[in-house]
Structure 1
Amino acid sequence: MDTQPNVFTPAQLGPVTLRNRVIKAATFEASTPNALVTDDLITYHRLPAAGGVGMTTVAYLAVTQGGRTEGNVIWWRPEAIPGLQKLTAAIHAEGAAVSAQIGHAGPVANARTTKATALAPVRFFNPMSMRFARKATRADIDDIIAAHADAARYAVDAGFDAVEVHLGHNYFASSFLSPLINRRDDEFGGSLENRAKVARGMVTAVRQAVGGQIAITAKLTMADGVRGGIPIEESLQTAKWLEEDGGLDALELTAGSSLVNPMYLFRGDAPVKEFAGAFKPPLRWGIRMTGKKFLREYPYREAFLLRDAKQFRAELKMPLILLGGITNRETMDLAMAEGFEFVAMGRALLAEPDLINRIKDDGDARSIRSLCTHCNKCMATIYSHTHCVVTGSPTPV
């Protein structure tokens, strides 16, 4: 008997029923120039909601002002709630659920634009901001964990159906997980058990704060693709601990490091020229000269994270969300056949917000192909207005 779920059937995510198993992944929108919700941001998420996704994920909503990646990012505070309520209402009106990605950028934060001190496991230099992140104290860590709980409560007030705790890409929690970055010799350094305390503490605090009111997921790096960085064996153990802790309704598996190897997640062309053009000299010149070392090129293939993700599927019982190179019905069906409960899509939905409806309407023909060329030139647009340079979608309001 074939028990493989159809990607277009409803699915339970914690207390939330999604109309299908497709989630729009968190991709920074560059639509909040004053760190508040805009009509542009609402349109950015309303389009894929109208286009058929089961849930869209708003990125990136920082738990503190200093936890932002850069100065235009929204952080959780009372002033932001009315706009977020308007956003969630617009998504719900299209029949989709909506998740809020919450987290602290840690060493990834651009302290020059956030006007706040960046924090890391150890003193750490960020070449993008030309600033040092300060070594986080025990009090800093406690405050950041508590801020995640506060963010989850705000998310409930704002009408979100779920939160996604950011444990990836060398953001704060991930930088503690990284043996390359985390050189501490206290209770948060050394062994993986110590290095995982921040990530586990964040998820536990969020669960304790909201109980079963909303769904709780997390984004976890399987491997960051850096020598001496996060290996898949350690990430799998962290995932097992997160499962044992009981705080998650699902886990989304990702890869790469925003600090040193972003293309390990964004497979395909490396847009060095476009990336350099997004900055002013001298950083522009530096990127042009050394960009190939930072933006290492990895060939694109469908479901490019599946091989690593299958190791997690084999050893975990909790629902898993497969990310990376999912652009057509065959790949979605493959994910379901391999035991993944959900699929997450980024670039393909940026290019075509209505892609899911088109694939669904295509039925068994399976003839629909994404217009995304994996050129990755969209990466450089996050510094102005995130959009697909091939299709122009979405256009600013």
Structure 2
Amino acid sequence: MPVTIDATRKSEAFTPARLGPLTLKNRFIKAATFEGRMPRGEVTDDLVDFHVEVARGGAAMTTVAYCAISPGGRVHRDTVVLDARRAVALRRLTDAVHAHDTLVSAQIGHAGLVANTRSNRAPTLAPSTRFSAPAMGLVHAATTAQLDEVISDFGAAARNAVDAGFDAIEVHLGHGYLVSSFFSPNLNKRDDSFGGDALRRAELARRVVERVRREAGDTVAVIAKFNMDDGVRGGFWLTDSLLTAGLLESDGHLDALELTGGSSLLNPMYYFRGDVPMAEFIASQPAIARLGLRLIGRRMFRTYPFEEAFFLPLARQFREALTMPLILLGGVNTMPTVETALAEGFEFVAMARALLRDPQLINQFHAGTRSEGLCVHCTKCMATIYDGTRCVLRPEPSESQ
């Protein structure tokens, strides 16, 4: 049964707050969750409807994910490239979300070692040459000229995001995608200006963020999804990530950091937490990928029991060290968690699976009719990303009518 909250008490969670040049109507952001509604990278009615449903549910801002900066930077062929043509198509989405008094952010990035080069029919890039399972082969180290092109592509994507009507741009600096892979001593073995100590491993991210801010201007918010911990032995961890976050703050180009962790390349369950839906995930793959998952899936998809606000202990280290706005992500499912986060100085919370299960949850929090989401943390939604990301426990529209 739903739990009734004392609706007479004024909650800070439903007060407006500033995010750079924006005012968000409350403290809830729908986190980037690949929607699986972009066949061949095209904007569809289904994609628009996905975000409109979130807007109707009460979120202050929803995030479109994932928008690649170039064809080679896609995760696979069914990923939007945020070029000028798609910007025109995405205007329909941003207008539809704005009609419900909700803001909308575009997550932009380059998949790097996480890119499926066979699906993309395009090469990808890495800090240093190494084998990548998603690429199904070697990915070669990017040259300095190629990194200059990447920086330029981030700038172009930022301009296109503004033209498309996005209110915010989220730069993907996490999960083993290209820019975050440069942070990692495990993945970055370079000895030039983009590799070596933590300062040089942060150089690409700093240049990217600076370019995005320059091209986006001062009318949109620029935030970054930032890895605190790769969850990988020898990877990016607090000793380096706190220093890197401090550099990004001192550069002054970001309006907030959204704190995350884990690696889509090497340890994806670190940022999901909960049951591993291996049978469903294998069934969703093409034949060759099914074979690979049967052989190595259990080693790649480690088990991390779900805990409410599982990134909060790490995020507290950043709240202590930084003054810039921070967005808490990871296992936010209850109003007590939201209240705790705000009381500890986090300006916003980001929610993903809880809103897949029930897009109306934030309205229910506000009305005082529910204090906890319905998500059971089965992570079976992971296996739905190829035909429309969704909670498998929600009835299909035809079943709910």
TM-score interval, normalised by the smaller of the two chains = over 0.9
For the 8 Å contact 1:388–1:394, the answer to whether it is kept is no
Letter of the structure 2 residue corresponding to residue 390 of structure 1: L
Aligned to 2:218: 212
For the 8 Å contact 1:269–1:374, the answer to whether it is kept is yes
For the 8 Å contact 1:351–1:392, the answer to whether it is kept is no
- Rounded to whole Å, the distance in 2 between the matches of 1:64 and 1:27 is 19
CA-to-aligned-CA distance 1:162-197 (integer Å, 9 cap, x gap): 000000011011111010011112221111111100
Distance 1:17 1:356, change over 3 A: same
- Rounded to whole Å, the distance in 1 between the matches of 2:397 and 2:282 is 23
Out of 80, 83, 91, the position equivalent to 1:85 is 91
Out of 372, 377, 381, the position equivalent to 1:378 is 381
Alignment of 1:138-153 (within 5 A): 138-153=144-159
Out of 269, 272, 281, the position equivalent to 2:275 is 269
Q: Establish whether residue 354 from structure 1 lines up as the match of residue 399 from structure 2.
A: no
Name which of structure 1's ranges 215-224 and 281-290 shifts more when overlaid on structure 2. Answer: 281-290
- Rounded to whole Å, the distance in 1 between the matches of 2:245 and 2:190 is 22
For the 8 Å contact 1:350–1:393, the answer to whether it is kept is no
Aligned residues: 389
Aligned to 2:198: 192
- Rounded to whole Å, the distance in 1 between the matches of 2:332 and 2:320 is 20
Aligned to 1:391: 394
CA positional deviation for 1:281: 2.5
Alignment of 1:186-335 (within 5 A): 186-335=192-341
- Rounded to whole Å, the distance in 2 between the matches of 1:255 and 1:310 is 14
Alignment of 1:18-33 (within 5 A): 18-33=24-39
- The alignment partner of 2:200 has SS state of helix
CA-to-aligned-CA distance 1:92-145 (integer Å, 9 cap, x gap): 001100000011111111111111111001122222331322210001101111
Stretches of structure 1 that go unaligned for 5 or more consecutive residues are: none
- Rounded to whole Å, the distance in 2 between the matches of 1:282 and 1:80 is 31
- Rounded to whole Å, the distance in 2 between the matches of 1:387 and 1:21 is 23
- The alignment partner of 1:132 has SS state of strand
- Rounded to whole Å, the distance in 2 between the matches of 1:244 and 1:393 is 48
- Rounded to whole Å, the distance in 1 between the matches of 2:384 and 2:137 is 23
- The alignment partner of 1:222 has SS state of strand
Out of 133, 157, 162, the position equivalent to 1:156 is 162
- The alignment partner of 1:100 has SS state of strand
For the 8 Å contact 2:113–2:176, the answer to whether it is kept is yes
Alignment of 1:67-106 (within 5 A): 67-106=73-112
Q: Establish whether residue 48 from structure 1 lines up as the match of residue 51 from structure 2.
A: no
- The alignment partner of 1:213 has SS state of coil
- Rounded to whole Å, the distance in 2 between the matches of 1:73 and 1:50 is 25
Aligned to 2:188: 182
- Rounded to whole Å, the distance in 1 between the matches of 2:396 and 2:158 is 30
* TM-score (normalizing by structure 2): 0.95
Distance 1:114 1:394, change over 3 A: farther
- The alignment partner of 1:135 has SS state of coil
CA-to-aligned-CA distance 1:28-55 (integer Å, 9 cap, x gap): 0010103121000001110011100000
Letter of the structure 2 residue corresponding to residue 389 of structure 1: V
CA positional deviation for 1:368: 3.2
CA positional deviation for 1:259: 0.2
CA-to-aligned-CA distance 1:137-167 (integer Å, 9 cap, x gap): 0011011111111111111111000000000
Letter of the structure 1 residue corresponding to residue 371 of structure 2: I
CA positional deviation for 1:392: 4.2
- Rounded to whole Å, the distance in 2 between the matches of 1:39 and 1:76 is 17
- Rounded to whole Å, the distance in 1 between the matches of 2:396 and 2:359 is 8
CA RMSD in angstroms comes to 1.4
- Rounded to whole Å, the distance in 2 between the matches of 1:63 and 1:252 is 20
- Rounded to whole Å, the distance in 2 between the matches of 1:156 and 1:286 is 40
Identity %: 52
- Rounded to whole Å, the distance in 2 between the matches of 1:219 and 1:383 is 23
For the 8 Å contact 2:113–2:135, the answer to whether it is kept is no
Q: Establish whether residue 36 from structure 1 lines up as the match of residue 39 from structure 2.
A: no
CA-to-aligned-CA distance 1:273-331 (integer Å, 9 cap, x gap): 11111112332123123222111011111111000000000010000000001111111
CA positional deviation for 1:394: 8.0
CA-to-aligned-CA distance 1:207-228 (integer Å, 9 cap, x gap): 1112212000000000011100
- Rounded to whole Å, the distance in 2 between the matches of 1:352 and 1:77 is 32
* TM-score (normalizing by structure 1): 0.95
Distance 1:187 1:393, change over 3 A: farther
CA positional deviation for 1:383: 1.9
